[in-house]
Amino acid sequence: MAKLPTVEQMKFRKYPPLRSGPPILWPTNRYFRRNEGTTDYATIPEVTLAGDFVVDVLALFTGTTMVMFGSTANFFTTARINADGSIRWRPVANSSDVLTAAGIVNLNELTLLSFSRTGSTVEIKANGTSVAIGGTSAEAISFNALFNSGGSVGAGILANLKIYDNGTLVRDYPINDNSSTIRDLANGQDGTIINGNADDWGLFDRQANGDWLGQELVVNGGFDDGLGGWLQTGSSWQAVSGSAEKTSGASFLYQTNVADIGINASVSLYISEISGGSLAISLSDGGTTESFDSVGQKNIEGEITKNQSVYFSGGDIALITIDNVSIKEVLKNA
């Protein structure tokens, strides 16, 4: 059997020496911007595509009709996600709309969408799979806005917008700027956020499964400041030695305005003691609820649907101790 080269031989040949121990994991994070869909949108210097082209964009759909790109002046060259998860695209002014089946785009999942024209054929792809094909004239198309078409705006997230003209990358907008300016890395044709807010931007860390996890939303999740930042119904919860303990009596422990309605949230905590019942975690009033009756690390994930609160509760005789409560937004990767 052939021997491995020595470290000195590897250096001479410019190979990296073998290493022992676990692999080095390089952290990856970025900003995403959530468009509220009221009066906010983005403008970019008008782009005109006369021949074959491809427009790629990463989109997160929140359940209402989402305009992705178009013209501020009219509804031509409009691409949008409908409320049923279908995609509708009008490539040029005088062409028929290209429409996919319903459910192509899942709620609250980042989906890579591609819009292309080759000759007189136009195509929509979702995560690399063709989902609709149509025909079009050869006239040039132009657009100058994101989340806006003819004054109609949309809610959701767009990222990694890339525009190719006859095979050449002419625009590249990561949309990770945490600023009112969105940079074009290809040709310096920067765009501008209109009517945006600073808190539309959020910093997210990439997870091993491809999802993106946001920053901490809960206040005093370690109970180092007693029950500061927390509210409760009744008086069963109290802070003891950096934990929250529930004694006899039914009671909810909760925080208000912790997460926006419509986002996908991940809640985690540690149960160190539990007897006489279970701990229920509810994502908003009447939202997704899961119960736990054993000690250990617990997690629940789901959409915030009813209000902006997350609740922790136990029955009359349940004795429960919890700590290290964490609530973060999750951007799921389709």
The domain that holds 277 is classified in CATH as 2.60.120.430
Residue 124's pLDDT is: 98
Residue 26's pLDDT is: 43
Regarding whether 138 and 47 lie in a shared domain, the answer is yes
Regarding whether 94 and 200 lie in a shared domain, the answer is yes
Q: How many domains does the chain divide into?
A: 2
Regarding whether 245 and 187 lie in a shared domain, the answer is no
DSSP code of 7?
H
By residue range, what is the domain housing residue 178? 29-206
Residue 270 C-beta-side C-alpha neighbours within 13 Å: 8
Asked if the structure places residue 13 within a domain, the reply is no
- Please, are residues 68 and 83 in contact by the beta-carbon 8 Å criterion? no
Regarding whether 310 and 194 lie in a shared domain, the answer is no
Asked if the structure places residue 287 within a domain, the reply is yes
Regarding whether 201 and 158 lie in a shared domain, the answer is yes
- Please, are residues 12 and 128 in contact by the beta-carbon 8 Å criterion? no
Tokens of 102: 């319903």
Regarding whether 68 and 112 lie in a shared domain, the answer is yes
Residue 315's pLDDT is: 87
Asked if the structure places residue 251 within a domain, the reply is yes
Buried b (16+ CB within 10 A) or exposed e, 78-90: bbbbbeebbbbbb
Residue 6's pLDDT is: 46
Residue 92's pLDDT is: 80
Torsion region of 277: left, alpha or beta (phi above 0 gives left; psi -120 to 50 gives alpha): left
Asked if the structure places residue 170 within a domain, the reply is yes
Residue 139's pLDDT is: 85
Regarding whether 249 and 113 lie in a shared domain, the answer is no
Q: What angle do CA 85, 87, 88 make, to 5 degrees?
A: 135
Asked if the structure places residue 218 within a domain, the reply is no
Residue 16's pLDDT is: 37
Q: What whole-number distance in Å separates Cα of residue 65 and Cα of residue 84?
A: 8
Residue 216's pLDDT is: 97
Regarding whether 310 and 187 lie in a shared domain, the answer is no
- Please, are residues 279 and 292 in contact by the beta-carbon 8 Å criterion? yes
Asked if the structure places residue 11 within a domain, the reply is no
pLDDT along the chain (334 residues), means of 10: 42 38 59 95 96 97 93 88 96 84 95 96 97 88 94 94 97 98 98 96 95 96 97 94 93 92 94 96 87 97 90 93 97 89
Regarding whether 195 and 67 lie in a shared domain, the answer is yes
Regarding whether 236 and 309 lie in a shared domain, the answer is yes
Regarding whether 68 and 188 lie in a shared domain, the answer is yes
Last residue of a domain, one of 206, 223, 240: 206
Asked if the structure places residue 66 within a domain, the reply is yes
Last residue of a domain, one of 206, 221, 256: 206
End-to-end CA distance of the chain: 44
Q: How many CB atoms are closer than 10 A to CB 146? A: 27
Give me the phi and psi of 94, to 5 degrees please: -105, 20
Residue 4's pLDDT is: 42
Q: Which CATH number goes with the domain that contains 103?
A: 2.60.120.200
Residue 135's pLDDT is: 87
